[in-house]
Structure 1
């Protein structure tokens, strides 16, 4: 009799087909959306007359819901069927993109961006899970995972160019372009994906809601504090309530039947230091792009397309360092790679914080962009491997997911802190919040000083990451085992 326990995979011979087009296309769309928004901030602020705080919320509202609900989104697929949940997430993301493109004011745009984040939090982790259930273990799945992962790199680079070009026409197109792409993905998903069985899971909805609202409260406090006043009632209330919700989240997780954040995974001090370093590096990466994009457009007068092209060397620097780090991570202690990368990033950002209106691209910005990209690349390769070093194969998935959430969710908190530093510096010099094109010379100088102060804030986060990395004591052998275990988990 045939073995009834044998798993049947829809794709067994060749990875490239409709299924990987659907799953990889979704990943590409999500990455593009995160990249292009930073380039369009200056135009959005000018068109909708956003405050500096409102401008930051265009970025943070998306990341808060995406990071806060990502773990829950992945489990929705297990509970209700991955194909169904994936399509639902893409539908939500597509509808939210349409609303973003048609937004007429600050509130409607920020709300739609938050809804986009919810859709991404549902679709993205479910897509990765569908790769495992759609493609047979071995070469076919390895090819599918490689294609899926490549979409992140492709989206990062093409997003800079496509986003800049679309923003030249209208910032609305960076969101509206998602609508036809989303509709195609939805149509092909019905045809190419196979539904998975639903499991009886008790979802940790309270934990996800408390984590998201708690971070939102903290971000609101830091984002609005510089303009509203740090002792104003709304700011104090937001910080107190936000921290209270985060404390409640930790209490809920201790008692939850199926917690989003299993505390048993944090018994290793090296791993705790790893997650802190991941969060700090995430804050640097998330905060850096918006303020550099604003500096080159508002202060140096770059067009959105020119600003996007100026960022491309960052991606190449990061890629080159990632290649080097992947080879060295199994030969030297990973903490030294992380320290080297974060120190290089710190030095580059400290230099960036000294720039002014006389800066030129080849004279100042080119080496800064490449150097910081290389520094970030050295750090981001060993950190995820340290997160899963020394654990069993069944713990790799949860730890990898938590590492990703730590990077995504701490990004908005970092941006809120850095943004508060920038706004406070601008206001202290007699500057004002608003559109650069309407400012006089003194106000533009104050705005420039604010933007470069933001780079100083990023440098502080990078320096803190370097210090924390010294407490990561995983060995090259453990990192090599983590690489092997990760590969085995993908192939199983």
Structure 2
């Protein structure tokens, strides 16, 4: 039997769960790592290639922005052309763009390569969750999503450590070369070990994608360039004015589209709306803060890139330790209390950092802030994926996970732009004191944003997930082994 043939009905392909968890976790780790892998390399990149704060922001924002605006299109492409196939295509695009970034000799080329990387990640990330959900029995899905969430959280938070180590001991180019052998190894394994499936929708929403992409690009561009060019300059005003108009047009179009990229009816579900609002606010505060804190440890603390990454470990190690437990616990008591508590701890950690950040800081003074932030982030990641999938109908779980990932990445892009704007308005890179002058109000802004996210999480419906019935469990097991009905489209549940 070939890898493309479905297994006999009622029997899952041997090792399907293991291979699905391994391959989707490695691919999603690679995509999530590159969100922030450049942050500890920014001083070295600035020294090598030049550039202002706004230019450095784009090395991160170009990735997160294309990632965000193309994620839902990526999920739709998987539904239409095959999830495994498009997952492999996403890995290939990501790998090629990583090589292009490593070969960059100027900031413009680096930013362009990062944008293409984001497009590849927009394919592989949402499809990794869909493929994993389809391969795991419902009774164990919470734990599997916990591991997947832990891997993502670890990747996001360990980006500064990995980037710092490679930058210090080899060069900043190797933060991108690292992806190339991993991507090359993944592609044949995906083809051999994952089953193909399709979704119920096979039409692409090109107008919706264009409206959302243009609106979000205009907004992020205006936020990034506002302090440098002036908030009343023509391009900045144009971006600020066009974004709400285009977003309104996007919502209006999606409400009447036959196959919308983002079905607005999903937001009628209070839990879905609440968890997505919490996700956006979490990523605004977390991404923007990490972007600045990794530079703070080097610019003010005097640490090398590797030393700065190592001192972030109390933050980075927590997802690996806490997220699987949080995922399993969400199966028992629901995601609401875990997510809300996690966001509250993340906000507290950022506030503690704002209180202790100063030119002559000691590492022991900021250690509690790093630890509390790490625990909070870990408690958010796994339960949020579970809540998203359980709040919508089975046939809409693919697009729902794509929407959640897109909104999180949008929050990351906005977080870097907003907190960097606060930073540059109040301080700068001139001296250690001017850096701290900008950092402290930016951290308070991040803490306040995440705290609002904790309040939003309290709106998630309080419930204890019901155990799947025997028939549901059997259907889930069948769905992991089969590609679906005769028309080739997968209509089996892909989430709890």
TM-score (norm 2): 0.83
The unaligned stretches of length 5 or more in structure 2 are: 477-492
In 2, the alpha carbon distance for the partners of 1:167 and 1:65 equals 25
Q: Please report how far the alpha carbon of residue 401 of structure 1 lies from its aligned counterpart in structure 2 after TM superposition.
A: 3.0
CA contact (8 A) 2:271 2:460 kept: yes
Q: Which has the higher contact order (CA 8 A, sep 6+)?
A: 2
In 2, the alpha carbon distance for the partners of 1:385 and 1:142 equals 7
In 2, the alpha carbon distance for the partners of 1:157 and 1:250 equals 33
CA contact (8 A) 1:141 1:490 kept: no
CA contact (8 A) 1:12 1:140 kept: no
Corresponding position of 2:435: 447
In 2, the alpha carbon distance for the partners of 1:338 and 1:172 equals 36
In 2, the alpha carbon distance for the partners of 1:132 and 1:473 equals 22
CA contact (8 A) 2:146 2:323 kept: no
For this pair of structures, how many residues does the alignment match? 471
Corresponding position of 2:452: 464
CA contact (8 A) 1:217 1:243 kept: no
Corresponding position of 1:261: 262
Q: Please report how far the alpha carbon of residue 313 of structure 1 lies from its aligned counterpart in structure 2 after TM superposition.
A: 1.1
In 1, the alpha carbon distance for the partners of 2:8 and 2:201 equals 20
In 1, the alpha carbon distance for the partners of 2:28 and 2:339 equals 27
The 1:282/1:481 distance shift into structure 2, 3 A limit, reads farther
In 1, the alpha carbon distance for the partners of 2:258 and 2:284 equals 31
In 2, the alpha carbon distance for the partners of 1:21 and 1:86 equals 14
Q: Please report how far the alpha carbon of residue 288 of structure 1 lies from its aligned counterpart in structure 2 after TM superposition.
A: 1.9
CA offsets, 1:136-189, max 9 Å, x none? Answer: 858999998777556435545664543322111211110122222222223444
CA contact (8 A) 1:215 1:242 kept: yes
Q: Please report how far the alpha carbon of residue 18 of structure 1 lies from its aligned counterpart in structure 2 after TM superposition.
A: 7.1
Q: Please report how far the alpha carbon of residue 270 of structure 1 lies from its aligned counterpart in structure 2 after TM superposition.
A: 4.7
SS of the aligned residue for 1:184 comes to: helix
In 2, the alpha carbon distance for the partners of 1:474 and 1:329 equals 13
SS of the aligned residue for 2:303 comes to: coil
In 1, the alpha carbon distance for the partners of 2:26 and 2:329 equals 32
Corresponding position of 1:353: 354
CA contact (8 A) 1:142 1:490 kept: no
Corresponding position of 2:242: 241
In 1, the alpha carbon distance for the partners of 2:313 and 2:142 equals 28
Corresponding position of 1:40: 41
Corresponding position of 1:476: 463
The answer to whether 1:214 aligns with 2:202 is no
The 1:423/1:13 distance shift into structure 2, 3 A limit, reads same
In 2, the alpha carbon distance for the partners of 1:295 and 1:483 equals 49
CA contact (8 A) 1:92 1:115 kept: yes
The 1:447/1:140 distance shift into structure 2, 3 A limit, reads closer
The 1:101/1:141 distance shift into structure 2, 3 A limit, reads same
The 1:182/1:337 distance shift into structure 2, 3 A limit, reads closer
The 1:81/1:232 distance shift into structure 2, 3 A limit, reads same
In 1, the alpha carbon distance for the partners of 2:7 and 2:189 equals 27
The answer to whether 1:375 aligns with 2:363 is no
CA offsets, 1:221-271, max 9 Å, x none? Answer: 111101111111110011112222212211221121111211211223454
Q: Please report how far the alpha carbon of residue 273 of structure 1 lies from its aligned counterpart in structure 2 after TM superposition.
A: 3.0
TM-score (norm 1): 0.84
The 1:233/1:279 distance shift into structure 2, 3 A limit, reads same
Corresponding position of 1:68: 69
The 1:46/1:171 distance shift into structure 2, 3 A limit, reads same
The answer to whether 1:292 aligns with 2:293 is yes
SS of the aligned residue for 2:312 comes to: helix
In 2, the alpha carbon distance for the partners of 1:345 and 1:25 equals 26
Q: Please report how far the alpha carbon of residue 47 of structure 1 lies from its aligned counterpart in structure 2 after TM superposition.
A: 1.7
CA contact (8 A) 1:389 1:482 kept: no
CA offsets, 1:84-123, max 9 Å, x none? Answer: 3233222211121111112122221111111100011122
Instruction: Tell which deviates more after alignment, 369-378 or 394-403.
Output: 394-403
The 1:246/1:458 distance shift into structure 2, 3 A limit, reads same
SS of the aligned residue for 1:171 comes to: coil
The 1:182/1:270 distance shift into structure 2, 3 A limit, reads closer
